Structure 1
Amino acid sequence: MTKKVVLAGGTGFIGQYFEREFSRLGYEVKIISRQPQHIPWDDEKAITNALEKAEILINLAGKSVNCRYNDQNKKEIMNSRTETTTILGNAIQACQHPPQLWVNSSTATIYRHAEDRPMTEEQGEIGTGFSVDVAKAWEDTFFSFKLLQTRQVALRIAIVLGPGGGVMTPYMNLVKYGLGGVHGSGKQMFSWIHVEDLFNIVLFLQKHNHLSGVFNCSAPVPVSNRELMKTLREKMNMSFGLPAMKWMLEIGALCLRTETELVLKSRWVLPERLKQEGFEFTYKTLDHALDNILTNE
Structure 2
Amino acid sequence: MKILITGGTGFIGHRLMSHLRTHHQITVLSRSPNKVYQRLGHDVEALASLQELDNLDAFDAVINLAGEPIADKRWSPAQKDIICQSRWQITRQLVDKLKAGSRPPRVLISGSAVGYYGRQGDALVDEDSHPHPEFSHEVCARWEELAMAAASEQTRVCLIRLGVVLGAEGGALRKMLPSYRLGLGGPIGSGKQYLSWIHIEDVVNLLLFLLEHEECSGAFNATAPEPVTNELFSRTLARVLGKPHFARVPAWAMRLLFGEMAELLLTGQRVMPVRLQQAGFHFRYPTLDKALKETLGGKRNA
TM-score clears 0.5: yes
For 1:115, the equivalent position in structure 2 comes to 121
- Shift in alpha-carbon separation, 1:277–1:165, aligned structure 2, 3 A: same
Shift of 1:296: 4.4
Aligned partner letter, 1:5: I
Instruction: Report the secondary structure of 2:220's partner residue.
Output: strand
Aligned partner letter, 2:104: P
> In 2, are the aligned partners of 1:154 and 1:215 still within 8 Å (CA)?
yes
For 1:16, the equivalent position in structure 2 comes to 14
For 2:42, the equivalent position in structure 1 comes to none
> In 1, are the aligned partners of 2:6 and 2:28 still within 8 Å (CA)?
yes
Shift of 1:119: 0.6
User: Is 1:71 the equivalent of 2:71?
Assistant: no
| Gap runs ≥5 in structure 1 | none
Aligned partner letter, 1:54: F
User: Is 1:44 the equivalent of 2:41?
Assistant: no
User: Is 1:31 the equivalent of 2:28?
Assistant: yes
Shift of 1:100: 1.4
For 2:106, the equivalent position in structure 1 comes to 100
C-alpha offsets along residues 180-213 of structure 1, whole Å, 9 cap, x if unaligned? 1111000000101111111111221222211111
User: Is 1:243 the equivalent of 2:248?
Assistant: yes
How does 1:72-151 map onto structure 2 within 5 Å?
Answer: 72-122=78-128, 124-151=129-156
> In 2, are the aligned partners of 1:58 and 1:104 still within 8 Å (CA)?
yes
Shift of 1:47: 7.5
> In 1, are the aligned partners of 2:120 and 2:132 still within 8 Å (CA)?
no
C-alpha offsets along residues 8-60 of structure 1, whole Å, 9 cap, x if unaligned? 1222101111112211x42222111222433223x423373xx4342321101
Picking from 226, 231, 244, the partner of 2:231 is 226
Q: Percent identity?
A: 33
RMSD across aligned positions (CA): 1.8
> In 1, are the aligned partners of 2:106 and 2:156 still within 8 Å (CA)?
yes
- When normalised by structure 2's length, the TM-score is 0.89
Give the length in aligned residue pairs. 287
For 1:216, the equivalent position in structure 2 comes to 221
Shift of 1:96: 4.2
- Shift in alpha-carbon separation, 1:261–1:39, aligned structure 2, 3 A: farther
> In 2, are the aligned partners of 1:163 and 1:296 still within 8 Å (CA)?
no
User: Is 1:178 the equivalent of 2:183?
Assistant: yes
